[in-house]
Chain A
Amino acid sequence: MSSVRETAGDDPALRVEALEALLVERGLVDPGVVDDVIEHYETSVGPLNGAKVVARAWSDAPYRERLLADATKAVAELGFGGTEGQMIVAVENTPSVHNVVVCTLCSCYPWPVLGLPPAWYKSPAYRSRMVAEPRAVLREMGLELPAEVLVRVWDSSAEARYLVLPERPAGSDGMREGELAKLVTRDSMIGVARALPPGETGGRA
């Protein structure tokens, strides 16, 4: 009998079903709103929001200034904000500094501009290694940085949620904002990749 119980208890699908049923019976959860929450994060929020912010910063110098001075406000200009974006800070990659974001204590992430974090961002491997051997992790993920470039790792531990402003790719002069946004991947805004070169927008992550 106890082995049956342990099996059922360890299955998260059965467990969350039981928990939700109890909370609904007790008047603590409205299952229709649960559906809405899920749908919102599956369809309305994601890295396309951040890509719009970055593309705007690349094509509009005063906007870039505002973004670097107060990203919460600059992101709000495009209508984005809310949960896990109460204080957004944008950090700019340059030829001499490369920024990358991690949360070693949990998995803090700027939801309004990037959506929910990917599994690797939440993994113990990324959380433990990124602060101690960022160059090795980045190399493994396909980003080799010259030794003279400073690697600056942001370990999100309080209110701020960090958004990397990647370098604008070479050869993108004259491209319009909408086209530029297609070069901005989720990974480039976490700092584990560069923005895509023009003409290479397939297989984006």
Chain B
Amino acid sequence: MGGRSEHYARVVREPNEPVFHTQWERRVFGIAPFVLLLFRGNTERLRFAMEQLPREQYLSGYYQRWLRAFEQMLVEAGYLAPGEVDARLDGRAPALDGARARSPVRLAVAARLIRANLRSRFPPWVSARVLPRVTGTMRPARAAPRFAPGDRVRVRAQAARAFTRKPGYLIGKPGVVSAHQGAALFADARGEGRRAGSQHLYTVAFDGRDLWGEAAEPATEVRVDLFESHLEPA
């Protein structure tokens, strides 16, 4: 949404905002880890499902967006029949024979994994080493990094992909690599369920004037994390 003026409006803070506003928001959030585990914790898949929703569903709100995207993902993966939630709401019998179900053992394993993450404190080595490795996406890459801090780069205007973690407002813009973060599984491929290799990941600094021209505010900079294939030397 970056820089898209059709969304511009006043940013309104809600005093003493609760974590959840309604009971249904709680339920959507609470089933999320179960749904994500069915997709091996691939949050890019969820992001892609949200981006593919009809515009009015996408803009209907954060947890509504999650809810609709879960349904879409579960239908695509065969856990739900198309239209099954609507049928249930109508009081019609489920139309589905042979839906993918899971054994009680697998559910118990999922429940354990999810519960294990619900700790208010972890031993330091768990937070610092185990969880990033098990639940994160950083993976060493075989190739040497193509860029180094200080390098001038430009964001590629590559062929339109169905899913990308490259914000649209950066396309064609020049920037300077400010950090090499290591390498991570390529999010754009993961979102589409394609096999994702590891790619070097960089933080790139963009001068406000390079992004917005005359309209830029003085002395502003945007820093964004981008994969190596999003970038070319400038």
Write the nearest CB–CB distance from A123 to chain B, whole angstroms.
Answer: 7
**Residues of B within 8 A of A (CB-CB), count:** 107
Could you tell me if A149 and B219 are in contact, using CB atoms closer than 8 angstroms? yes
Write out, one digit per residue, whether chain B residues 196-219 have a CB within 8 A of any chain A CB (1) or not (0): 000001010000000110010111
Contact of B88 (CB < 8 Å), options: A18, A30, A123, A205: A18
Q: Which of B1, B9, B35 has the most CB of A within 10 A?
A: B1
Could you tell me if A77 and B124 are in contact, using CB atoms closer than 8 angstroms? yes
Write the nearest CB–CB distance from B133 to chain A, whole angstroms.
Answer: 9
Give the residues from 1 to 34 in chain A that come closer than 8 angstroms, CB to CB, to chain B.
Answer: 5, 8-9, 12-23, 26-30, 32-34
Could you tell me if B222 and A131 are in contact, using CB atoms closer than 8 angstroms? yes
CA distance A105 to B71 in the complex (A): 21
Could you tell me if A134 and B220 are in contact, using CB atoms closer than 8 angstroms? yes
Contact of B219 (CB < 8 Å), options: A14, A33, A72, A148: A148
B192 within 8 A of A: no
B15 within 8 A of A: yes
Nearest-CB residue, chain B, relative to A142: B13
Known: A13-B24, A36-B118. A153 touches B104 (CB 8 A): no
Could you tell me if A147 and B20 are in contact, using CB atoms closer than 8 angstroms? no
Q: Which residues of A contact B218 (CB under 8 A)?
A: 135, 147
Could you tell me if A120 and B14 are in contact, using CB atoms closer than 8 angstroms? yes
CA distance A50 to B122 in the complex (A): 15
Give the residues from 20 to 62 in chain B that come closer than 8 angstroms, CB to CB, to chain A.
Answer: 20-24, 26-35, 38, 47, 50, 59, 62
Nearest-CB residue, chain A, relative to B227: A158
Could you tell me if B5 and A158 are in contact, using CB atoms closer than 8 angstroms? no
Write the nearest CB–CB distance from B29 to chain A, whole angstroms.
Answer: 6
Q: Which residues of B contact A110 (CB under 8 A)?
A: none
Could you tell me if A20 and B128 are in contact, using CB atoms closer than 8 angstroms? no
Give the residues from 68 to 92 in chain A that come closer than 8 angstroms, CB to CB, to chain B.
Answer: 72-73, 75-77, 79-83, 85-87
Contact of A22 (CB < 8 Å), options: B85, B118, B119: B85
Ordered by A's residue number, 19 sampled pairs between the chains whose C-beta atoms are within 8 Å are A12-B63, A12-B67, A14-B89, A19-B31, A23-B74, A33-B115, A38-B30, A82-B119, A87-B132, A106-B47, A125-B9, A131-B3, A132-B2, A137-B11, A151-B217, A154-B224, A156-B225, A157-B167, A158-B226
Q: A125-B11, A153-B220, A205-B13 are in contact. List 17 more A-B contacts (CB 8 A).
A: A13-B24, A16-B67, A18-B89, A28-B79, A34-B27, A35-B30, A36-B115, A36-B118, A76-B124, A81-B131, A119-B21, A129-B11, A131-B3, A133-B217, A154-B223, A158-B225, A158-B226
Can you list the 5 inter-chain pairs with the closest CB atoms, starting with the nearest? A81-B127, A86-B136, A79-B121, A104-B2, A76-B127
